[in-house]
Amino acid sequence: MSTHVQTRARHRIGLAPLALLALLLYAAFLIYPLVQSFITSLTNRNVLNATNAFIGFANFAELVHDERFLRSLGFTLVVVLFVTVVSNIFGLLFAMLLNGPARHYKIMRTLVFIPQVLSGVIVAFIWRSILTENGLLNSVLQGTGLTQQPISWLGTPALATLSICVVVSWMTIAFTTVVYTAALQSVPAELHEAARMDGAGPLNRFCNVTLPMIAPGTTISVTLTLITTLKLFDVIAVLTGGGPANSTKSVAFYLIDVAFTSNRFGYASAIAMVLLALTAVLAYGVTYLLRRREAHL
Amino acid sequence: MTATVLALTTALGLSACSQGGAGSLTFMVFETPALDAKFWDTSIATAAKEVSGAAIKKIVSPDADRTKYAKQLQASGQFPDILASISPKDFAGAKLLKPFDQKWLDDNFLQPTANAIGGETYIPPTNSQIIPLVFYNKKIFADNGISVPTTWAAFTAAITKLRAAGITPLELAGSETWAASMPLVGLASADVLGKDPAWIQKLYKGEAKLSDPIFANAMQKAVDLVKMGAYSPAALSVDFKTANSNFLAGKSAMYPMGSWFTGSSYVSAAQADNIGVFPWPTDDGSVVIPFNVGGTTSVSAASKNVDAAQKFAQAWSLAPANLKVLIETDGAFPMMKKLGIKDFGATVNGLYNSSYSYVTDSNTKVSSFGWVNNDDALAPGINDSFYALAQSVFSDSDVKKQLTKLDADWAAATKK
């Protein structure tokens, strides 16, 4: 056996334990809970007692008619759509504004990134102090005479939904800005220069040079924003508690309620499975479409 | 050889643990401005002295919903040995709690069966609350020539008069569902249980429905309050802390809230002088008091040392120092057989004394709807649905439709 072949064989064997460990961890912490959750979703398991009978797909059938689940699903999709669109548009905008080599741009980028560093709970507490009856926003509006009465930003279903959309967008814009900044920095300056020499204006250069070049960044940013928002829980828990009248309960929030308030673990697992499937389908679908777009650009 | 020594040492160690002392017990508590970390640490240290060899490990619930947290701990195999102020009905049904000895309850408490579920008591009935009372600003009432209302008609007339004067009639911490529910709790307790104290039991037996006229008419009054402008337009954006400060600052005239509001954590003695209190009004003026007998410590039936856990729970419940703090800061009304209010040496304000008179006076006391720890506790998950109803009356005035949904929730929760 040649030295070269021996080295390759040793190299392969050397990596095998690491790969095995990774597989074991993946199986223990992802595959096993997933399978366990699916099995639980086929039962009427109660969180507190020994009830654990197999009931087939009855939990999934019930979900189809569960008005609260459907409402939470509708609310979640509204937030996902709003946040994904808004945070990506503003993320790209901020990234373009901050995409400079100068020192103060680095400071600005850091400032923009701060919401991403803060936990959702802290962000929600900050915004709650802004949006409550006596909060900063109402004080400004009333102080400037724009409104006479305080506006119930968190107390009417439509405004509470909008408030959550804005707060979550504010958080995620930080992430999308960083992704787009990284993507923009990979665009060769020569391309812009060549386009400029060809007489292309700023809009033309943005559409025909920048957007195609940052397409992979767009795919990553849109997909991850979508996945993050689909499992939204912490901001809602602090900001509205799912209210008013359950109007801002996300699917994840409803899942926790069903499991630990109504004690229905089996049903909660069915919700978790649907959320997982929905996330997978949407993430795959969006990625597929954006990858096709990348190929076209 | 080494493995054998290690195994023997471990076995001996485990044997020693199981034979001597109480070992380590976990105690799930919750912290509030009134019941802070220092209160729990001190009270735990005092009660632990009564249980030889007990090391109490405190687990703090991350939020006020300690029942939900206890369920999370149960689901992950970490159910605590002792639990503070949970709703015991769910857990008792699953036989997760150890009942207290009836003789001990009879010997020490004024109403030894007040917290009984199926004849067994899982929370010592140490203290009580009235949920809600209506607190009012004496100066605003006097300035507007309003007398303390004793009937529903007088109450709504006062609301109309205050609204016309540009004053917010009722304060509401509407963003926190439990607090938003106060008017509904008052209505359900006074108008439904005041007329039929066994109504919740009828609900369990399937002999009554939440959409029945008796309950629906009471809930309709909640819609009427919204329509007559009883609350701030942004009431559902107000949290509990802000509602307290709004009311104390005179921004609103009345505040339906639990009797804990009389405690020094909420009002100073000076502020209390300007606050009066009356029971939630009924149509005919009869006095109905929505009563909740509370307590703190429940014990896990699955505890590795259930006797020590129960001994600790009993010691904690009987310690006068603990109840003194609860009286002063949280407005608790003591229900101890061997200790009268004066025996605690607690400093209380005039508002506390006025409210306490509704406990000691002869009147119709009924379960505070959605708050009690006994057989009248609602089915799992229904409290949350009921609290949500308190918020939905602001945007949806179709009471019948909402109560039909609540009936469906009840049926699912009780499998009827």
Cβ(B56)–Cβ(B312) below 8 Å: yes
Could you report the per-residue pLDDT of A232-291, keeping only the tens digit for each? Answer: 999 999 999 998 989 999 999 999 999 998 889 999 999 999 999 999 999 999 999 998
Residue in B146, B126, B118, B55 with CA at minimum distance from that of residue B85 = B126
Candidate from B246, B388, B413 with C-beta closest to A243: B388
Q: Is position A168 within any domain?
A: yes
pLDDT computed for residue A9 by the predictor: 67
Question: CA B180 → CA A196, B174, B217, B261, distances in Å?
Answer: 62, 4, 19, 15
Residue in B159, B155, B136 with CA at minimum distance from that of residue B229 = B159
* Orientation of helix A136-143 relative to helix A120-131, angle to 10°: 30
pLDDT computed for residue B181 by the predictor: 96
Which residues of chain A does B232 touch, with a Cβ-Cβ cutoff of 8 Å? 133, 149-150
Residue A1: band (very low, low, confident or very high) from pLDDT cuts 50, 70, 90: low
**Count of CB atoms situated within 10 Å of the CB of A179:** 23
Cα–Cα distance measured from residue B3 to residue B6, given in angstroms and rounded to the nearest whole number: 5
Which residues of chain B does A154 touch, with a Cβ-Cβ cutoff of 8 Å? 175, 236-237
pLDDT computed for residue B416 by the predictor: 52
Could you report the per-residue pLDDT of A148-200, keeping only the tens digit for each? Answer: 889 999 999 999 999 999 999 999 999 999 999 999 988 888 888 898 888 88
Q: Is position A279 within any domain?
A: yes
Mean pLDDT, chain A, whole residue set: 90
DSSP SS3 for B97:
strand
Residue A46: band (very low, low, confident or very high) from pLDDT cuts 50, 70, 90: confident
Q: Is position A57 within any domain?
A: no
Q: Is position A134 within any domain?
A: yes
For A158, which residue in chain B has the nearest alpha carbon? B395
What CATH number corresponds to the domain at position A204? 1.10.3720.10
Candidate from A48, A128, A265 with C-beta closest to B91: A48
Strands B168-170 and B252-257: parallel
Pairs across A and B, CB distance < 8 A = 113
Strands B364-367 and B288-293: parallel
Candidate from B96, B174, B384 with C-beta closest to A155: B174
Residue A2: band (very low, low, confident or very high) from pLDDT cuts 50, 70, 90: low
Q: Is position A81 within any domain?
A: yes
Could you report the per-residue pLDDT of A120-142, keeping only the tens digit for each? Answer: 899 999 999 999 988 999 999 99
Which residues of chain A does B395 touch, with a Cβ-Cβ cutoff of 8 Å? 156-157, 244-245
Cβ(A114)–Cβ(A174) below 8 Å: yes
Q: Is position A17 within any domain?
A: no
Cα–Cα distance measured from residue B269 to residue B250, given in angstroms and rounded to the nearest whole number: 16
Contacts of A234 (CB under 8 A, 6+ apart): A119, A120, A121, A124
Could you report the per-residue pLDDT of A9-21, keeping only the tens digit for each? Answer: 666 677 788 889 9
What's A63's DSSP letter? H
Contacts of A244 (CB under 8 A, 6+ apart): A154, A155, A156, A157, A160, B174, B175, B236, B391, B392, B394, B395
Burial classification of residue A102, based on how many CB atoms lie within 10 Å of its CB (0-12 exposed, 13-18 middle, 19 or more buried): exposed
- How many whole angstroms from its chain centre is CA A135? 27
pLDDT computed for residue B214 by the predictor: 97
A248 CA: distance to closest CA in chain B (Å): 12
Cα–Cα distance measured from residue B145 to residue B158, given in angstroms and rounded to the nearest whole number: 9
Q: Is position A169 within any domain?
A: yes
Contact B380 A257 (CB under 8 A): no
A35 CA: distance to closest CA in chain B (Å): 17
Candidate from B174, B381, B392 with C-beta closest to A261: B381
Mutate to test the interface with B, among A44, A48, A136 (most CBs of B within 10 A): A48
pLDDT computed for residue A103 by the predictor: 66
Q: Is position A92 within any domain?
A: yes
B70 CA: distance to closest CA in chain A (Å): 9
Report DSSP letters for B240-296, one per residue.
HHHHHHHHHTTSEEEEEE-GGGGSTTT--HHHHHTEEEEEPPBTT---EEEEEE---
**Residue range of the domain that includes A149:** 66-296
Contacts of A209 (CB under 8 A, 6+ apart): A187, A191, A192, A195, A200
Cα–Cα distance measured from residue B399 to residue A13, given in angstroms and rounded to the nearest whole number: 70
Contact B395 A244 (CB under 8 A): yes
Contact B233 A149 (CB under 8 A): yes
H or E element at residue B352: helix B350-360
Contacts of A89 (CB under 8 A, 6+ apart): none
Contacts of A279 (CB under 8 A, 6+ apart): A227, A230, A231
Number of domains comprising chain A: 1
Candidate from B96, B175, B234 with C-beta closest to A243: B175
Tell me the H-state helices in A42-66.
58-65
pLDDT by 10s per residue, chain B, length 416: 344 444 444 444 444 443 335 579 999 999 987 889 999 999 999 999 988 878 999 999 998 889 999 999 998 899 999 999 999 988 988 899 999 999 999 999 999 999 999 999 999 999 999 999 999 999 999 999 999 999 999 999 999 999 999 999 999 999 999 999 999 999 999 999 999 999 999 999 999 999 999 999 999 999 999 999 999 999 999 999 999 999 999 999 999 999 999 999 999 999 999 999 999 999 999 999 999 998 999 999 999 999 999 999 999 999 999 999 999 999 999 999 999 888 999 999 999 999 999 999 999 999 999 999 999 999 988 998 999 999 999 998 899 999 999 999 999 888 75
Tokens of A96: 């373009």
- φ, ψ at A264 (rounded to 5°): -95, 85
Taking only Cα atoms into account, the Rg of chain B, rounded to an integer number of angstroms, comes to: 23
Contact A245 B93 (CB under 8 A): no
pTM (whole model) above 0.95: no
